[in-house]
Amino acid sequence: MSNPVEYHYDRFPPSNLDWLKIIPHISPASAVLARYDGLLTSIPNPLVLLSPLTTQEAVLSSRIEGTQATMGEVLEYEAKESPRGLTPEKEADINEVLNYRKAIWKAVELLKSLPLCQRVIKEAHQTLLEGVRGHNKSPGEYRRIPNWICPDKLIENARFIPISAERLVEGISNWEKYIHTETSDRLVQLAVLHVELEALHPFLDGNGRLGRMFVPLFLYKTGLIQSPMFYISAHL
């Protein structure tokens, strides 16, 4: 087994991005995002009309983490107080999906009075894991032990080792500062922030879902879209 990639200590934020390779992609991406935002603003009450898509994003983001609930099952579960024939495992999967949706709207509510900051991230994470798989893994609290990314739970098979627990607070503080740094392009900044949050892997569970949730929150808070409705999981 080859040695795992380790966190890039003291190299965030990146000091030298290859703008010659990035620039050709910025304009098309910005144009598509602007057209999407124009569509959002033209829809009367988009929060209501696009609510099923928000649920679908929750389904797809949770599926990346291994849940098996479908869109239809989630909608049926919400429509019935006591749906029949659900196994405990299926109900747990559905509740994970519902928690994802609750977490993003919890964050949106906090953003009415707060900047996009660690408090918002922590409270969203706490809601994400409330009463579901990972509820016993310190929801809303940064990890105090090492973690690693691997196909199983064995560190000898690790593919990536995130920042150490001892330097996590320093790392997440640098990440938060970069959110509020003026940069040459907001979409590039978002890409860097998303990668860095996953590299930090600050929680014991739920890091992938939280990282995907961060994308629409950043787009919304920076004014790139007028409503926090952006669906990235299918692409990822």
Domain ranges of the chain: 5-221
Q: Which residues of the chain have pLDDT under 70?
A: 1, 48-49, 81-83
Give pLDDT, residue 177: 98
pLDDT tens readout for residues 58-83: 888 888 887 888 888 888 888 876 66
Domain formed by 5-221, architecture: Orthogonal Bundle (1.10)
Q: Among residues 161, 179, 172, 92, which one has the least CA distance to residue 132?
A: 92
Residue 14 in tokens: 């990146």
Specify the pTM: 0.91
- Contact (CB, 8 A) for 118 and 172: yes
DSSP state for residue 149 in the 8-state scheme: B
DSSP state for residue 87 in the 8-state scheme: -
Q: How far apart are CA 202 and CA 163, in angstroms?
A: 8
Could you tell me the CA-to-CA distances from 51 to 16, 29, 76 in Å, in that order? 40, 24, 15
Q: What share of the chain is helix, strand, coil (3-state, %, to 5)?
A: 55, 0, 40
Residue 88 in tokens: 């405990």
Give pLDDT, residue 117: 98
pLDDT tens readout for residues 164-186: 999 999 999 999 999 999 999 99
Give pLDDT, residue 151: 82
Give pLDDT, residue 83: 65
What distance lies between CA 38 and its chain's CA centroid?
24
Give pLDDT, residue 49: 66
Give pLDDT, residue 204: 95
Residue 83 in tokens: 């749906």
Q: Where are the beta strands (DSSP E) in the chain?
A: 5-6, 160-161
